[in-house]
Chain A
């Protein structure tokens, strides 16, 4: 045996650990470069890094690596949805019902225009177009929360954008919950599924959220007013709840939003501190955006880019109409209403999940409408955060640069 057997072979065998590190380093570097050089949002840089390292770029991020990292991204998504849920201030909505109306109006406005475009203009089947329209309602919670946090934004446009994001997420979920059984009926038949599935999704999510909220508030009282420990309680329950929702095949989105909202609104004595997940959560968020970026398929732009762009534009038009129509009743200045509509532009990685999930169940969707929606997601994954950042800055709600 050689005396130098302690040396690795050449080239050394790479392991997953190295690639995880590379992904993190590339993500953080991408975010900083994009922010410093181009003054664009960091999350755009994370997504760009993911795109560069993903199958469409160097191919460094492959399926096994994604499998390794997906748990972090799922935790990040859970945290984002939970935080968004805590923004659903029921007392505020009760005082200013016009806000709730605005949330529904902008979601329906977007859905209506998207539906008409896909159905009438591009000739997709009504049901399939409706599914795409429902998906198009929702704004990306992760982008909104991270861009606002990164800018240290405080103000009416930011607050309302976050609230409306929570509302349109719920509306989108409800619409899909109603539509999917219709798909089922259309393509598979079976009345029982059509009636029971939405009920199961809805009731299951709410019951699970209620249990988790009670557990969270109990634990929070136990650890007392310590931000760090409360954050661990949040992580623990968010992970647990995401896992349970997946196991029970109920909606992660609705469950986590409901969990946040219940914690916010049931905690009258305010035992739960608002936990700044920024520092500890940063790692999760970075991986979420990198992975979302890696999953983007630029090839779609060639095949469905024009249709995707059309979708982006009519979706924005619909949201703007909804916001502007209700703005006079919601105490919002006209200029701010326009910025608010712009801030709601980002489309979520969640949309990708929704499309894939629906497509997995109903291949008819995959063939027809999925490429258009996914192309819109590609466009908005890169441009959406920029729109949000612009809107917040323009409204004068960004804090000093960190």
Chain B
């Protein structure tokens, strides 16, 4: 196969949004993961809905993605419409659908890989990692005009990665136990060789050079092979944020997209912005703190060298970018995130509370299914 010499970056309308959600398919008996993706896809195939519903790497997972949306309201409307179609299909098949970054008690040895060439390739390459990778994330795409903008935005969003993690964290349980992490999902992602943060490339030319080198080493074939927390997506013309756990509700998914969009808007306006040289040094520490402690994390500000409570940082940032959100139609969404951050209430806490009250992990999944269906 001959590959183009450079990566073609498709320009798109700035600040447009796209959201992908990976969802769990469970049975309604003991609420373990079940195999039902192809049956569910067949069941919803004839129904009209916006966006796209497609299979993922295992039969226990299904993905829904919006079309290119102008703002958070459209994201929410599309997600709700797809949810309605899925919920109806699932009811007919007696399947449960749930958000959450991990399934609380599934055994990865039980998983089967969806039968497509790409997934088979991934499975052969990564061995047990591919099956352990039965984790569920939300990806948010933000439209940018050019590769240069994409690299700039990717770097600019780095310091907010702990925010994204704490706000979306919904994977406290894995393998039948409380992991003590608010987001245990990202620990699984870390095991992949090309995970973490994009290298310190200054602009799109450097990025293309880096990509060309990696491809000439035979390490990667396409951008798909990078499992970075945030990555430029040349073929869509977007920056893709991948650190979110799939939240328990589609409302929260739309709120997170609104926050990402408002942050991107503020970065676009701040023409003087440049990456702090210490940012990549503190990145992994801050990210770990957010995964482990959620809103209770303490993160390091590379500029002031201060350790600050993450929840306070999030509240301050939400307040700062609120005008952008209001202009883009995401004011209400940010307001709800603000309430959640002030109360330090994320989905990980919600799930832990269910376990406390009900006493078993199947109860936790059942509650997650109810939450996902909405009211």
A residues lining the B interface (CB < 8 Å): 86-87, 89, 92, 95-96, 152, 154-156, 159, 224-225, 270, 273-274, 331, 333, 336, 396-397, 399-400
- B34 to A155, Cβ gap below 8 A? yes
**Residues on the B chain within 8 Å of A156, using CB:** 36, 39, 93
**Residues on the B chain within 8 Å of A396, using CB:** 35, 59, 112
B363 interface residue, CB < 8 Å from A?
yes
**Known pairs A89-B28, A156-B93; A270 contacts B363 (CB<8 A):** yes
Complex Cα–Cα for A273 and B361 (A) = 10
Q: Among residues 346 to 375 in chain B, which have CB atoms less than 8 Å away from a CB atom of chain A?
A: 358-360, 362-363, 366
Apart from the given pairs A273-B362, A274-B29, 8 other A-B contacts in the complex at a CB distance below 8 Å:
A89-B28, A95-B92, A154-B32, A156-B39, A225-B358, A333-B39, A396-B35, A396-B112
- A96 to B92, Cβ gap below 8 A? yes
Contact flags B14-33 to A (C-beta < 8 A → 1, else 0) = 00000000000001111010
10 smallest CB-CB distances across A and B, nearest first, come from: A274-B30, A225-B359, A225-B360, A92-B94, A155-B35, A331-B92, A154-B34, A156-B39, A154-B35, A95-B91
B42 interface residue, CB < 8 Å from A?
yes
Complex Cα–Cα for A270 and B28 (A) = 11
B122 interface residue, CB < 8 Å from A?
no
Measured CB to CB, the nearest residue on chain B to A331 is: B92
**Residues on the A chain within 8 Å of B89, using CB:** 331
Min CB distance, A132 to chain B, in Å? 33
Complex Cα–Cα for A86 and B35 (A) = 20
B109 interface residue, CB < 8 Å from A?
yes
Q: Among residues 65 to 99 in chain B, which have CB atoms less than 8 Å away from a CB atom of chain A?
A: 89, 91-94
Complex Cα–Cα for A30 and B42 (A) = 41
Measured CB to CB, the nearest residue on chain B to A275 is: B30
- B362 to A155, Cβ gap below 8 A? no
B43 interface residue, CB < 8 Å from A?
yes
**Known pairs A89-B28, A95-B92; A331 contacts B35 (CB<8 A):** no
B110 interface residue, CB < 8 Å from A?
yes
- A270 to B110, Cβ gap below 8 A? no
Min CB distance, A276 to chain B, in Å? 8
**Residues on the A chain within 8 Å of B366, using CB:** 270
- A159 to B110, Cβ gap below 8 A? no
Measured CB to CB, the nearest residue on chain A to B131 is: A400
**Residues on the B chain within 8 Å of A331, using CB:** 39, 43, 89, 92-93
- B362 to A270, Cβ gap below 8 A? yes
Complex Cα–Cα for A152 and B36 (A) = 15
